[in-house]
Structure 1
Amino acid sequence: MKNRVAIIGSGFSALSAACYLAKDGYDVTIFEKNKTIGGRARQLKKEGFTFDIGPTWYWMPDVFERFFADFGKQPSDYYQLEKLNPAYSVYFAKDDYITIEDTLEKICETFEHEEPGSSQKLRKFIANAQHNYEVAIKDLVYRPGITPFELMTPVTIKKLDQFFSTIKKDVRKEFKNERLAKILEFPVLFLGAKPDNTPSFYSFMNYADFGIGTFHPKKGMYQVILAMKQLALGVGVTIKTEQTVDNISVAEGNATSITSNGEKLPFDIVLSGADYHHTETLLEPSYRQYSETYWEKKVFAPSSLLFYVGFDKKLINVNHHTLFFDVDFEAHAKEIYDTPQWPKDPLFYASFPSLTDQSVAPEGQEAGIFLIPLAPGLEDTPALRALYFDKIIARFENLTSQSVGKNIIFKESFCVNDFIQDYNSYKGNAYGMANTLFQTAFLRPKLKSKKVKNLYFTGQLTVPGPGVPPSLISGKLVSELIKKHHTLKNYETAI
């Protein structure tokens, strides 16, 4: 008889694990609390517009290729990928921005124009970042975070200094131009921490940015979720939506069943791709690994205030991805990490996918997604959302020299309360737990429960960390742990 696996949640990591486990012969059922699958990568459709609710950046295409290759497939079997040119632009003042194009050669020209002599430094910086990428993304992140010895390889021993220096220190040592420094510090924000709290080794994110580039799946990131769903169904996964799991039953140290929508269902293995903290609240206190104090002390990635806006005209002076760094980054970062509060003058990001992909907005109109990073756990009210929308739209109009306020057909928002309501997210965080030095690899919450023998976890709060590519990897890692443990268990039973 096949081992029956219950998977809670249907985000990238849960779908990844489901595919691997079903391929290995497990009987897998996914339980998703929302009406549609995808976890934080769901989709909003309204009045002919289509928005990705969650992730909008497609980086590290090799990780997606590796995932699909494990099933004899490739991304192009499911969705069409386009490399963006330009990748993105960064505003620093009114009509003053730097555009990052689609090759390192072009980016070097941009740097040289901004700061003579900087292109040579950039090539050296990216060469080191590429080496880190080869080490990290093709090796280290595919290790399950069980012991510190996973990080000790001949290559990483030579790079130990890069674990104790920081991205900010390395960047500022070489690049004196404030604008260029900010652009080089930007990619590590995807890891959920400040550049001055992120180890230098994570410069591999700069290679993902400048060396590989930024892509867009036609019709949006949700196409990746739909591809994974198709793959999962093809290998025999059962997917159930509108299923709220509110209890995990344990007997003699083993999870024996889950309760979903009031129905108790027996399973041999339970895997949660839902919020780690929330999942442990489904257990009796004696079976929880981490206390409330533990979670309180951890550095969490930001939450976000997001707006999904339909415009009745095409916009100018923006790119598919546009960053607005016209205010003090340090002040905003302190308001996220050091003294959590609503920011006085927030940096923000905007995405206009309809500039690249006409399928996501009616003809002659524009789909806009605006994101303000916030500290998790903040008060979230309609009045605050409205105040900050007005703030960023006023700045957007000024910086890009265009009027858009009267061209808004509708706007929908998503913030702290929604992250909690829809995803049971701890304090409404958007990206999980930050990848700081003391929250890396074996120092993150474990993939396997230490107190319940057949309970496992996957996703952004565990190994390897925040982001879509790491989530795909997390699903693979936990599936391998399950297979290893339960193959060994079955062998021991047989003898």
Structure 2
Amino acid sequence: MKKSITIIGSGFSSLAASCYLAKEGYEVTILEKNATIGGRARQLIKDGFTFDIGPTWYWMPDVFEKFFADFGKEPSHYYQLEKLNPAYVVYFDELDTVQIPDNLPDILDIFEIQEKGSSKHLQSFLDNAKHNYDVAIKDLVYRPGISITELITPVTIKKANQFFSTIRTAVRENIKDSRLQQIMEFPVLFLGAKPSNTPSFYSFMNYADFGLGTWHPKGGMYEVIKAIYVLAMELGVKIKTNQNVEKINVDNGTVKSVVANGETIFSDVVLSGADYHHTETLLDKKYRGYSEKYWNSKIFAPSSLLFYVAFDKKIKNVSHHTLFFDTEFDVHAQAIYDDPKWPEKPLFYASFPSKTDETVAPEGKEAGIFLIPIAPGIEDTPEIREKYFNSIMERFESLTHQKVMDNIIFKESFCVTDFINDYNSYKGNAYGLANILTQTAFLRPKIISKKVKNLFFTGQLTVPGPGVPPSIISGKIVSELIKKSFQNQSEKGSKSDGAETNSKEIKADSSLRSVKAYFV
């Protein structure tokens, strides 16, 4: 009889895990709380406009290729990719912008123009970053985070100093132009932490940026969700939406079932791709692996205030991805990590996918996504959202030399309260736990429950960390651990059966000798 696996949530990690597990022959069912699949990577469609609600950056294309290759597929079987050029544009003020081209030679030229001699330092930095990428993405991130020994290899021993120095130190050692420094520190923001707290080993994110480039799947990032969904269906995965999991039942230390919408669903294994903290609240307290004090002590990646804006005209002087670094990053970062509060003058990011993709907005119109990184857990009201929208749009108009406020057809917002309501996100965080040294690899919450047999976790609160590629990798890691767990249980059962049979044979043989002795 097939082993049954119930997966809570249908984000990238859950969908990836479902494919690997179904491929192994397990009976896999996904229970999704919301009406549509995708978790944080859902989609907003309105009046002919299409917006990615969550992730908008397609980085590390090799990770996606590796995932589909595991099933004899390619991304091109499911969606069309376009490499963006420029990859993104950075505004420092209205007269100072930097475009990041789609290839390294041109990027080196850009750096050299901004600061004489910097291209040589950037090349050296990226040579090391590529080596780190090969070590991390092709090896370390696929390890389950069970023990510190996973990180101890001949290569990492040689690079030990990079785990105790920071990205900020490495970047600013030779690059002196503040704009170039900010551009080089930008990629680690995807890890959810300040450059001053992020180990310099994570420079592999710079290689992902400058070396591998920025891509766009036609139709948006949700096309990747749809692709993995189609693959999951082909492999026999069952997916049920509008399924609110209310309880995880445990008997004698082993998971037995979940309760969704009042119905008990029995399962050999439960895998949660939902928020880790929330998942543990579905357990009786004695079965929770981490206390409220533990969660409260962790450094979380930011939450976000997002706006999805439909314009009745094309927007000028912007790229598909546009960063607005016209304010002081360190001051904004303090309001996220050191003294959580609404920032006075935040940096922000804008995405205009309709610059690249004609399918996401009606002809002659523009779809715009605006994001402000904020501290998780802070107050979230309609009045605050409106205040910040007006603030960043005033700056946007000034920096890009155009009026756009009167050209808004509609706008929708998403913030802390929505992350909590829609995803049960701890304090409304958007990206999980920050990937700082004390919260990396084996120091993150475990994939395998510490107290409940056959309960597993996946996603950006566990190994390897935040981001779409790491989430897909997390799905693979946990599927391999589940497979190994079943194999171990099967072997133990076989040994136990063998021992019992052997014991009976010994007992029978002993009894036979006694009978013989009696008659002889």
Relative to the length of structure 1, the TM-score reads 1.00
- Give the root-mean-square deviation of aligned CA atoms: 0.4
> In structure 2, what is the equivalent of residue 29 of structure 1?
29
For 1:450 and 1:301, the matched residues in 2 are separated by 24
Could you say which structure has the larger radius of gyration?
2
For 1:229 and 1:490, the matched residues in 2 are separated by 30
SS of the counterpart of 2:173? helix
State how 1:110-129 maps to structure 2 within 5 Å.
Answer: 110-129=110-129
> In structure 2, what is the equivalent of residue 268 of structure 1?
268
> In structure 2, what is the equivalent of residue 18 of structure 1?
18
User: Which amino acid is 1:381 matched to?
Assistant: T
> In structure 2, what is the equivalent of residue 329 of structure 1?
329
User: Which amino acid is 1:50 matched to?
Assistant: T
User: Which amino acid is 2:136 matched to?
Assistant: A
- 2:154 corresponds to 1:162: no
> In structure 2, what is the equivalent of residue 381 of structure 1?
381
For 1:151 and 1:55, the matched residues in 2 are separated by 29
For 1:390 and 1:152, the matched residues in 2 are separated by 50
Q: Deviations over 1:69-88 (max 9, x none)?
A: 00000000000000000000
SS of the counterpart of 1:184? helix
Q: Deviations over 1:126-158 (max 9, x none)?
A: 100000000000000000000000001111100
State how 1:119-198 maps to structure 2 within 5 Å.
Answer: 119-198=119-198
Shift of 1:333: 0.1
Shift of 1:96: 1.6
User: Which amino acid is 1:360 matched to?
Assistant: V
> In structure 2, what is the equivalent of residue 313 of structure 1?
313
Shift of 1:94: 1.1
Shift of 1:488: 1.2
Tell me if structure 2 keeps the 8 A contact 1:95–1:400: no
SS of the counterpart of 2:196? helix
Relative to the length of structure 2, the TM-score reads 0.95
> In structure 1, what is the equivalent of residue 280 of structure 2?
280
For 2:21 and 2:450, the matched residues in 1 are separated by 21
SS of the counterpart of 1:349? strand
SS of the counterpart of 2:417? helix
> In structure 1, what is the equivalent of residue 8 of structure 2?
8
> In structure 2, what is the equivalent of residue 296 of structure 1?
296
Shift of 1:467: 0.1
Shift of 1:355: 0.2
Tell me if structure 2 keeps the 8 A contact 1:35–1:242: yes
- 2:216 corresponds to 1:235: no
> In structure 2, what is the equivalent of residue 422 of structure 1?
422
Tell me if structure 2 keeps the 8 A contact 1:6–1:269: yes
> In structure 2, what is the equivalent of residue 354 of structure 1?
354
- 2:59 corresponds to 1:59: yes
Shift of 1:95: 3.2
- 2:449 corresponds to 1:440: no
Q: Deviations over 1:160-187 (max 9, x none)?
A: 0000000001111111100000000000
Shift of 1:336: 0.1
Unaligned runs of 5+ in 1: none
For 2:405 and 2:265, the matched residues in 1 are separated by 51
SS of the counterpart of 1:55? coil
- 2:389 corresponds to 1:404: no
SS of the counterpart of 1:270? strand
List structure 1 segments (4+ residues) > 3 angstroms apart after TM superposition: none
- 2:234 corresponds to 1:209: no
Q: Deviations over 1:380-417 (max 9, x none)?
A: 00000000000000000000111101000000000000
Shift of 1:450: 1.0
For 1:25 and 1:494, the matched residues in 2 are separated by 20
For 1:490 and 1:265, the matched residues in 2 are separated by 23
- 2:228 corresponds to 1:225: no
Shift of 1:113: 0.4
Tell me if structure 2 keeps the 8 A contact 1:95–1:401: no
SS of the counterpart of 1:195? coil
User: Which amino acid is 2:46 matched to?
Assistant: K
> In structure 2, what is the equivalent of residue 365 of structure 1?
365
For 1:323 and 1:300, the matched residues in 2 are separated by 22
> In structure 2, what is the equivalent of residue 477 of structure 1?
477
For 2:17 and 2:427, the matched residues in 1 are separated by 25
For 2:174 and 2:237, the matched residues in 1 are separated by 50
> In structure 1, what is the equivalent of residue 78 of structure 2?
78
SS of the counterpart of 1:340? coil
Shift of 1:122: 0.6
User: Which amino acid is 2:8 matched to?
Assistant: I
SS of the counterpart of 1:105? helix
For 1:325 and 1:249, the matched residues in 2 are separated by 49
Q: Deviations over 1:217-248 (max 9, x none)?
A: 00000000000000001101000000000000
Shift of 1:494: 2.5
For 1:446 and 1:452, the matched residues in 2 are separated by 12
- 2:272 corresponds to 1:258: no
For 1:28 and 1:494, the matched residues in 2 are separated by 25
Q: Deviations over 1:191-240 (max 9, x none)?
A: 00000000000000000000010000000000000000000011010000
Shift of 1:490: 1.3
> In structure 2, what is the equivalent of residue 393 of structure 1?
393
For 1:263 and 1:330, the matched residues in 2 are separated by 49
Tell me if structure 2 keeps the 8 A contact 1:58–1:216: yes
Q: Deviations over 1:399-444 (max 9, x none)?
A: 0111101000000000000000000000000000000000000000
SS of the counterpart of 1:422? helix
For 2:55 and 2:333, the matched residues in 1 are separated by 21
State how 1:441-456 maps to structure 2 within 5 Å.
Answer: 441-456=441-456
Unaligned runs of 5+ in 2: 496-520
For 2:229 and 2:351, the matched residues in 1 are separated by 25
SS of the counterpart of 1:174? coil
For 1:343 and 1:123, the matched residues in 2 are separated by 35
> In structure 1, what is the equivalent of residue 500 of structure 2?
none
Q: Deviations over 1:9-57 (max 9, x none)?
A: 0000000100000000110000000000000000000110000000000
> In structure 2, what is the equivalent of residue 108 of structure 1?
108
Shift of 1:491: 2.1
User: Which amino acid is 1:203 matched to?
Assistant: S
For 2:142 and 2:292, the matched residues in 1 are separated by 29
Q: Deviations over 1:326-369 (max 9, x none)?
A: 00100000000000000000000000000000100000000000
User: Which amino acid is 2:301 matched to?
Assistant: A
For 2:265 and 2:207, the matched residues in 1 are separated by 46
SS of the counterpart of 1:391? helix
For 1:386 and 1:112, the matched residues in 2 are separated by 41
For 2:426 and 2:54, the matched residues in 1 are separated by 16
Shift of 1:470: 0.1
- 2:442 corresponds to 1:460: no
Shift of 1:492: 1.7
